Amino acid sequence: MSIETLIHVGFAHSGTTSLQENFFARRPDIFYCTSVGDFGGIFSYIKYEEDAARADRALEHFCKKHIWAKIGPRQRLVLSDETFVEQPEIYYTPQKMPTSLIAQRLRRLFPNARILFTTRNQFDYVASCYFNLKRNYAHLSTRSIEDFNTWFAGNNTQIANLYLRNLDYSRAVIAFERIFGPAAVTVLPLESLELEGAPSYLRKVAEQLNIEITDEDLENFRPIRNRRISALEDALLAQWHDPVYRNLYDALAIAIGPTRLQDFLDAAEPARIVLSEQQNELIRHRCADGNLYLQRQFGLDLPSLGYPMPDTELRLIHSPRLSTGQLAAPSFRRAAAS
């Protein structure tokens, strides 16, 4: 079935929830699929099913039942789920299939889809990942997480860990370029939202679906979703292993209501993490070359947006958009950032 299709595949902590809830879900001309409810089976079989034949049978059944039988004749199809390329940020997280396999499954289901990646500079991405895990561990698993320095060190003890595996965004981007073709892939940094404003940012998303942005879209997009936890909530969650603090939270939620309690916590200053020079350098080491690839490939001014970049552009770069790679000598690693 030939339908205008956009697959927003990540990354986490790049304003994905705001796009999903404030834009995709609010447009009547968009048939929006998320990983909950009727569409949950589609997303789960794409991401987690190891048996290829079983996955193909289930996906064909679910897509016919929940998408092709329901989508309107003039609607565009949007699938948006950052866990196509990210681990779900919960304690009991499932192991997702390799990104290249997920891209292949999506390609078989939606061969003419356009692919959208939204990104965020990796220094903020790391902090946001930790805070999100901290909240999810507390409220979903009744666990407190270790302090940031211990967590960050632990997630860099192996070549690939469950979290922070996407610090180099280019790996997942290249995987989708190879499956869908380079021309089908777009990368949109979250920082351009603040720099250029919501109209320009949403227009770039809408271009992928050949639709126009309206004043109603801009008004709908105004509320911030998944705001970073406050310093007050951060301090509370750090003591979550102690039932006294959990009972206090529950008592307050009953007394004033969970929404008012959350509003009270959110009113405090945002929680912050100050990265050490060593942590800054480790992040640069892992993602600077990949950011250089994205800058060249998509014409993005990533240095001005705060993304870690290599000291020199003398690199071995292979671009699927080009007939040959660009060859150059690798540079030495830079000194720690201040």
The pLDDT value recorded for residue 312 is 66
Query: How do residues 117-159 score in pLDDT, each as one tens digit?
Result: 999 999 999 999 999 999 999 999 988 999 999 999 999 998 8
Q: What is the CATH code of the structural domain delimited by 5-120+165-220?
A: 3.40.50.300
pLDDT tens track of the chain, all 338 residues? Answer: 578 999 999 999 999 999 999 999 999 999 999 988 889 899 999 999 999 999 999 999 999 999 999 999 999 999 999 999 999 999 999 989 999 999 999 999 999 999 999 999 999 999 999 999 999 999 999 889 999 999 999 999 988 788 999 999 999 999 999 999 999 999 999 999 999 999 999 999 999 999 999 999 999 999 888 888 999 999 999 999 999 999 999 999 999 999 999 999 999 999 999 999 999 999 999 999 999 999 999 999 999 999 999 986 544 444 445 433 333 333 323 333 32
Could you report the per-residue pLDDT of 189-204, keeping only the tens digit for each? 999 999 999 999 999 9
Spatial separation of the C-alpha atoms in residues 199 and 206, rounded to whole Å:
10
pLDDT tens digit sequence for 32-58: 999 888 898 999 999 999 999 999 999
Domain with CATH 3.40.50.300 in the chain: 5-120+165-220
Q: Which of 312, 311, 309 is nearest to 294 (CA)?
A: 309
Residue 167 near residue 125 (C-beta atoms within 8 A): yes
